[in-house]
Structure 1
Amino acid sequence: MLRQIRRIVTTNDAEGKSGVMIDGIADNIITVLTELWITGKGKVNHTDGIDHGALSTQLEPPEGGTLFRYFEILPESEFAHLSDDEKRKANAEWFAAMNGAHLQPDTSKHPAMHKSPTTDYIILLSGEITLVLEKEERTLKPFDCVIQRGTNHAWVNRGKENALLMAVLVSDGSHGR
């Protein structure tokens, strides 16, 4: 079960005074992704009263926009009972559930490999995670960060506890939503 994330969203009232618009558990969850906030292309309206975290429906941010999310990756040992074919099928279904099936051009290195035209800022909060790239791998410890620049990659948890991560995805403006 995903860890619940408390989200506090601020706003300005009609007189321009700051206050809290939302203080509660973020509840827009797409598979392992807890969607915290999303912005679109153009000027942002900070007084619209809309929960923009509830608007996210897919792995990518909207064209010209951003996406702020929390995600959890279970240890690979949780899936040891599956055959390689079952793992590939499960990963394909997982990406489809995130409206991201089109982001898997080459899964030959790992079934969770994916690539989007975004710049992603990722921080590992706890646990251990390995960033798998086509030519190499890097293992992260808590508070390590990655600037993911439109490369084919997978997140693989070879540890014993869930890996907890935060990410901001920034659209390069070339993809549709």
Structure 2
Amino acid sequence: MTGSNEALADERKDIRYVRRIVTGERPDGRSYIVSDGPTLNLSIPNASGLVGHVVWATGDGAAPGDDPAPEGHEFGFHSDNGVILRIADFPPDETYDHDKLKAFLDEHDVRDTEAPRHFWFHKTPTLDYAIVLEGEIYAMMDHGETRMTAGDVLIQRATNHSWSNRSDRPCRMAFALIHGDLAKAPE
């Protein structure tokens, strides 16, 4: 293994992969399982345990071909004119490398630089259905916050927000990130 391959393997050794099952339809109209295996499209921003698994995508950001989210295809926080389904694993706040996370948010031009209450504050032009699958996390707004646990759903409407994991274990969340006019919060 080369040095970069070893580093990648080490970076991915503790990841709990998401199982992705994709269906299709045969020419005769009968349904079947096209694929069943781990989601391999990962974003690992070197922020001490933060991992995003892109399960599926539509719109301008989707990869061409049969798999819109293959290994190695790069995604931003959203897909113009489409939807991204992402599973995110948030480590406890105390484990983050704040500088690396800020660089990651800056790379995608979403970081709040106006004296945010928390290091994760960012804003995207998306309507997000945010669902806690495991663990707990605080959804923070500019004013106010709420603790979310498994089964809770937050509807994030293109507002400035942050995720704060104040527990001692990771929190796994599912996000449907919908780009476009539906994202705008009423004025």
Please show how residues 50-89 of structure 1 align to structure 2 within 5 Å. Answer: 50-54=66-70, 57-79=74-96, 87=98, 89=99
2:39 maps to 1:23:
no
Q: For the residues of structure 1 that align with 2:111 and 2:163, how far apart are their CA atoms?
A: 13
Structure 2: how far apart are the matches of 1:127 and 1:68?
A: 19
d(CA) in 1 for partners of 2:24, 2:147: 38
Instruction: State how far apart, in whole Å, the 2-side matches of 1:139 and 1:121 are.
Output: 16
Give 1:106 shift. Answer: 2.9
**For 1:78 and 1:116, how far apart are their aligned partners in 2?**
24
Give the 3-state SS of the residue equivalent to 1:94 in structure 2. helix
Question: CA contact under 8 A between 1:2 and 1:72: conserved in structure 2?
Answer: no
CA distance in 2, matches of 1:73, 1:60: 15
SS in 2 for 1:90: helix
What's the counterpart of residue 127 of structure 2? 119
Q: In 2, distance between residues paired with 1:111 and 1:29?
A: 22
Runs of 4+ displaced beyond 6 Å: none
> RMSD of the TM alignment (CA)?
2.2
Tell me the SS of whatever aligns to 1:123: strand
Match for residue 134 of structure 1 among 135, 138, 142: 142
Aligned-pair identity in percent equals 28
Is residue 103 of structure 1 aligned with residue 120 of structure 2? no
Q: Quick check: 1:162 aligned with 2:170?
A: yes
User: Which TM-score applies when normalising by structure 1?
Assistant: 0.81
Question: Could you state the TM-score of these two structures normalised by the residue count of structure 2?
Answer: 0.77
Alignment length, in residue pairs? 158
- Equivalent residue number for residue 94 of structure 1: 104
SS in 1 for 2:21: strand
* CA displacement 1:100-146 (0-9 Å, x = unmatched): 2x111336222211101100001101111011111111111111110
Among 30, 53, 59, the alignment partner of 1:40 is 59
In structure 2, C-alpha distance between the alignment counterparts of 1:164 and 1:59, rounded to whole Å: 19
User: Structure 2 counterpart of 1:106, which letter?
Assistant: T
Q: Is the 8 A contact 1:63 1:173 kept in 2?
A: no
- How far does the alpha carbon of each residue in 1:77-107 deviate from its partner, in whole angstroms, 9 at most, with x for none? 324xxxxxx62x22222325xx52x111336
Larger relative contact order, structure 1 or 2 (CA cutoff 8 Å, min sep 6): 1
